[in-house]
Structure formats: C-alpha cells, structure tokens
Amino acid sequence: MRVFCASLATETNTFSPLRTDFSDFEQSFYAPPGEHPVTPTLCSAVFPALRKRAQDNELELIEGTATWAEPGGLLNRETWARLKREVLDQVNAALPLDGVVLGLHGAMIAEGCVDCEGELIEAIRAIVGPKTVIGASFDPHSHLSQKRVSNANVITVFKEFPHTDFVEAGEACVDLTLRTIKGDIRPVISVFDVRMLDVLPTSQEPMRGFVDQLNQMEAKGEVLSASVIHGFMAGDSPDLGAKIVVLTDDDQAKADNIARNLGTELFSFRGQTKPDYLSPVEALRKAQKAAHGPVVVADVWDNPGGGVAGDSTLILEEAIAQNLKSVAFGTIWDPMAVRLCHAAGEGAVFDLRFGGKTSALAGNPIDATVTVVRNQRNAVQSFGASIVPMGDCSVIRLGGIEVVLNSNRSQAFSPDLFTNLGIDVTEKKILVVKSTNHFHGAFSDVAAEIIYAAVEGPYPNDPTKTRYKNLTRPIWPIVKNPHEEVVE
C-alpha cells in the first residue's frame, strides 16, 4: 500500500500581540520531505511510526513536509498559502495513494482562514478521492470543525495534558489508518459538542479518572478510539470549546451513545478542573515558606505555549521586591538581551535591560546590574522523546536570582531547561517556569511542591470577558446553561 504523510502545525492565539510567518516555522522546526529527524516532534509522531511500519515492509511511505511553529499570533496569509500549496503539491505528486496520515495541531488560524486544518484536509480529500483513507492526529487544545470530521476517516487526539502521550496518539492514528486500508475495520466517527471551555489538566482529578476511563474503553475493545478536544480559549474560532470524539467499528449508534454519555459526564466537571491559582505575591510567599525545595511556581498565563511572548516580568518583579534568594527563572524571551550577554561574555558584570518588551500588560523591562553566568549557542530542552530548540541562551544573575534568557520562544517542559545551562535545580529553593501544565510531567519528579500562579497579562484567560467575534454557539461559562439554549 502507498501512504503519504505530512505535518503542518502551530497553535494560534488570535489575541496575541505577536504575528506568525514562515520564519517562525524555520526557527522552530522545518523538515522537507525525507529530512524528518529520528525523534518525533509534538505533532509529527506519525512520521517515525510510519517509518517503522515501512521498515517492516508493510507499506511504501512517501514523506511530505513536516513543520511546526511555536504558538504565536495570527498566521499571515502568504505563509498559510505557501505551506498549504507545498503539501498539496506533494500529495498530487504521490498519487495514487491508499492512505494519507497527517500530524496536525488543530488550532492554526490564518488571515482569512479560521479553519486551516479543515481546509487542508478538505483539499486533500478532493485530490485523492473518496476511497483513500485519511487519518489525522490532533492536539486537544484545538478546534474540531465538521469539515475535518466529514473528510477524515480516522481522528486521534492526545489524551494527556501535559501531552505526555503524543507519540502514542500518533502511533494510534497510524495503526487505525492502516487497519482501515486493509479492510480490517470500518471506523465511524461521532462527535459530541460539550459546549464548555475550561482548563482540563489530566495530572489531577477529575480529569485523571476520566482519561483512565477512556483508556480502559479502548483496551477492552469497546471503541476504536475515544478522546477529548479541550478547546483553546485564546483562539477566536467558531468551533471553540470541548468536544468528545469517539470512533467505533461500523456502529454509528453505539458511537453516538458513548460520545453523548462521555460528553454529559465531562460537562458535569465544569468549574471543578482547574488547579488552585494564587497571586504572584501569595505564590512566592508560600514557596519561600516551604520546608525545602525546589518548589516549582508556574506562571500559567505568560506561557509561550499559549501563543504569548513569554517575556512578562511581573513575577520576577515580585521576587525582587521580596528579596528572594536561591531562585531560578525559566525563561524570559529576549533575543536582544541574549545578544548583549553573548557579546559581553561569561563573567561580565554590566547593566542590562531585559524582558517586558512585547505587551503593555506584561510588566516593565527590568533594569539591573547583572552577572553573565553562562552563554550557550543552540540550547535545547526535552519534552518526552522530543527535543525542543531554545536558540541561543544566557543565564544571568541578579542578587540571589538566576534568569534564563532565550532567543527562541519556548515554554518550560523539563528541568533540563535549567540543567543543560549549568543550573543545579536541586540546589534552588524556588524554580519559576512559564507553562500552564506541560511542565508538570517532568518537573513533578524533582519538585517538593508545585504552585500555580495566575498573573494577568496578554493571554485571554477568562472567556466571559474575551471578545470573540467568530463564536456564535452558546458555551459555558459564557452561557450558564448552553445545552438548554440549543434547539435540536
């Protein structure tokens, strides 16, 4: 069988002061056909999964482009047109095809296109025809449109948040797609619109038990796949919000019933799933009072993984005000400051202005006399099996605080964010990271305690106050009883 694969992915925060173009894809990850690395990226795990099946002589694999841009603002029209045309031309050149497997994020929005992934899948369907099997893997922080469901045969979604299972989701997508091509299964898809928008970390209850239930259903063979689209509250999409996705083997009524039951259960969790969020003052005071460290304090809303800059100084300003010692910050995005530190050299002591550059809501730039502790070219951190580029980095010290400055925007995923730059996390009392929950998987292994700090900034974190233009469906918490307002 002949199978084509490609991966186009980014997460678009339509309210971000940033903008996204082709250079963002080049800087983060861009692999032309045949050049995908051995290790997977968050949205391209289908590549190594398909390569393994090809090595076993199960299929002939035709690889297309794989690319990812760090979440940011609206994608410009020209970049979207270029990337879409690149993949469609590759599909045309690969014909005839038995299958197409796509590694997508699902929250890409471009100028003039609110459903990039739906448009891409629809265009591929028009090229390959109705008999070719199309499988797609999505991030749960995405927008699931009917256009995607109507044109795909297989849909899988990462179940975990943090996304520790992105490899498994890619492998499941590949497996179900190949089984469909062989005629072993005839998947049908059911989607239930939960009409809810909330933060749904699976590292704690009630979502932990809910995801365990989905895994058990798959293991017992009750369904081919069952997963949750969480939605991405910073993306102005008509399909905003949580949805249940269930695949069964040629049993639509069963899929519909399971999806509805799961969706009803998920809706009952509304308002109960978020961690306890503290103010910066409370979070740092609590961390400082802990018996021992390291205590991880998560700056949940200045998260580059949510499409903002990651250069907020608000928690750092509070740490300075509290005269805290033995603190490491990871990271503050400031390419200009990194360049100055590299020019000054390790050991240099000089006056530096850093942070607070991209938004009036992200605090003021910090002006301080700093010591350059470490400079490193092409620094990286890990996220599971994936390697995440951080670009050129510098570690600076001011008082008892060390700050990692990076030139490639990236949220905090792993303690090696610090250790790769010479910071011993076990010797720090407090580690401040910019991430909503992806840090949890790796940092929980070293953290004495984890504290979530909600700092108001450029990220739109309250749907009841966000001015959505494309959302017309009633969803909670914007509407108290959205299901009662829906006329079936």
**158 found inside a domain:** yes
- Separation of alpha carbons 428 and 105, rounded Å: 35
Total number of residues shown for the chain: 488
Looking at 215, 244, 267, the residue that finishes a domain is 267
**463 found inside a domain:** no
- Same structural domain for residues 292 and 247? no
Full pLDDT tens readout for the chain, 488 residues: 999 999 999 999 999 999 999 999 999 999 999 999 999 999 999 999 999 999 999 999 999 999 999 999 999 999 999 999 999 999 999 999 999 999 999 999 999 999 999 999 999 999 999 999 999 999 999 999 999 999 999 999 999 999 999 999 999 999 999 999 999 999 999 999 999 999 999 999 999 999 999 999 999 999 999 999 999 999 999 999 999 999 999 999 999 999 999 999 999 999 999 999 999 999 999 999 999 999 999 999 999 999 999 999 999 999 999 999 999 999 999 999 999 999 999 999 999 999 999 999 899 999 999 999 999 999 999 999 899 999 999 999 999 999 999 999 999 999 999 999 999 999 999 999 999 999 999 999 999 999 999 998 889 999 999 999 999 999 999 999 999 865 55
- Same structural domain for residues 53 and 174? yes
Domain of residue 363: give its range.
277-453
- Spatial neighbors of 462 by CB under 8 A, at least 6 apart, are none
**162 found inside a domain:** yes
CATH number for position 65: 3.40.50.2300
**459 found inside a domain:** no
**240 found inside a domain:** yes
- Same structural domain for residues 301 and 431? yes
**331 found inside a domain:** yes
Total count of domains within the chain: 2
- Same structural domain for residues 392 and 293? yes
- Same structural domain for residues 386 and 412? yes
Q: What is the pTM of this model?
A: 0.95
**444 found inside a domain:** yes
**175 found inside a domain:** yes
Residue 321 burial by CB count (10 A; 0-12/13-18/19+): exposed, middle or buried?
exposed
- Same structural domain for residues 293 and 405? yes
- Same structural domain for residues 315 and 197? no
Contact 133, 181 (CB under 8 A): yes
- Same structural domain for residues 158 and 183? yes
Q: In what order do the strands lie in the sheet with 366-383?
A: 277-278, 449-453, 295-299, 430-433, 327-333, 401-406, 386-398, 366-383, 349-354
Q: Angle at CA 272, nearest 5°, toward 319 and 443?
A: 45
Q: How many CB atoms lie within 10 A of CB 250?
A: 11
Q: Which residues of 365-392 are buried (b: 16+ CB within 10 A; e: fewer)?
A: bbebebbbbbbbeebbbbbbebebbbbb
State the amino acid at position 23 in one-letter form: S
- Same structural domain for residues 40 and 104? yes
- Same structural domain for residues 258 and 190? yes
